[in-house]
Chains A and B, each alone.
Chain A
Amino acid sequence: MKTIYKMLLGALLGFLGAYCLLAAEFEMTLLDIAFEATLVISGLTIVLIVYCFSGISRMKKRVSLSVSGDEEDELEAKQYRTFTDLTLANTVSTILSIIAIGMAIVTEQPIWLILVNVALFIVTIISSYVAISVLKLVYPNRNLPSPSDKDYGKKLLAISDEGEKHVMLDGLFHTYQLMNILLIGAMFILIVYSLGANHSQLFSIIVIGLVLIILNANYMFRIRNR
């Protein structure tokens, strides 16, 4: 019942929002502020990269600490949290750097800005490798796959125990549900934007639609015959 209320409320808010936007005949263009926006995104990427490397350094320092009893458990939990935090920071920084590269190229920004963001993108890739290498230092007894292994994801899943798989499944299932909702929402936003601003976003709508179909089909085919 709660879900139905939420859906109805969402539909009502969506309808009102879309109606207001269409009525206002808005136009949103990034052309005027593309340079500043790219700089801000680049700045954010740098902050996240710094956070990522500081997390890696903290993890390395903690490896040499000698603790026992409950303190050992707390330290292990802290290492795990730091690793997940820096992994998130790393992923977001990679995405932001790609957005910045795209924005700089499409809006014809100075070449140095494009090169800076390409460099930032490369740094985020390197930092993800470094973070995985640190994980090997933290858990020396575990047979963790090498970050350069082409089947890294598969091997990591294979060595994960039942508790870790349980946590991953829970996280992935919620993410899967959220991804479906957000991508469908994004399609509606793009439809409203296309109508309101007279800028066709049809290509993006089709791409998002295809991504949704492929992801859902992939999930269903994977569980279908098991």
Chain B
Amino acid sequence: MKNRLKELRARDGLNQTELANRAKVSRQTISLMERDELMPSLLLAVKLSRIFQEPIERIFLFEEDELS
């Protein structure tokens, strides 16, 4: 799974700390997700989806074989 967190952060002019504050998580969590070292919980994915005003599947990109 890849994600577009870094790209979307840049689009909205947010740094990791600001995004973390909005999502009510630590900066460490955002950093881990951006480095593809952590798959977020459903709750966090929904929160990020609301923050970026993007559907979850446009933030977190799965390979077809990961979903089958």
Q: Are A73 and B29 in contact (CB under 8 A)?
A: no
Interface residues on B, range: 10 to 19
Q: Are A163 and B29 in contact (CB under 8 A)?
A: yes
A25 at the interface (CB under 8 A from B): no
Q: Are A161 and B38 in contact (CB under 8 A)?
A: no
Q: Which residue of A lies closest to B32 (CB)?
A: A163
Chain B residues, CB < 8 A from A160: 26
Given known A68-B15, A70-B15, A73-B16, contact A162–B25 (CB-CB < 8 A): yes
In the complex, A77 Cα to B29 Cα: how many Å?
Answer: 12
A27 at the interface (CB under 8 A from B): no
Chain B residues, CB < 8 A from A80: 28
In the complex, A72 Cα to B38 Cα: how many Å?
Answer: 22
In the complex, A166 Cα to B38 Cα: how many Å?
Answer: 8
Given known A69-B15, A73-B16, A162-B41, contact A167–B32 (CB-CB < 8 A): yes
B5 at the interface (CB under 8 A from A): no
Chain B residues, CB < 8 A from A162: 25, 29, 38, 40-41, 44
Encoded as 1 (CB less than 8 Å from any A CB) or 0, chain B from 35 to 51 comes to 00110110010000000
Q: Which residue of A lies closest to B19 (CB)?
A: A73
Q: Are B21 and A141 in contact (CB under 8 A)?
A: yes
In the complex, A68 Cα to B29 Cα: how many Å?
Answer: 19
Interface residues of B (CB under 8 A from A): 15-18, 21, 25-33, 37-38, 40-41, 44
Interface residues of A (CB under 8 A from B): 68-70, 72-73, 76-77, 80, 141, 160-164, 166-167
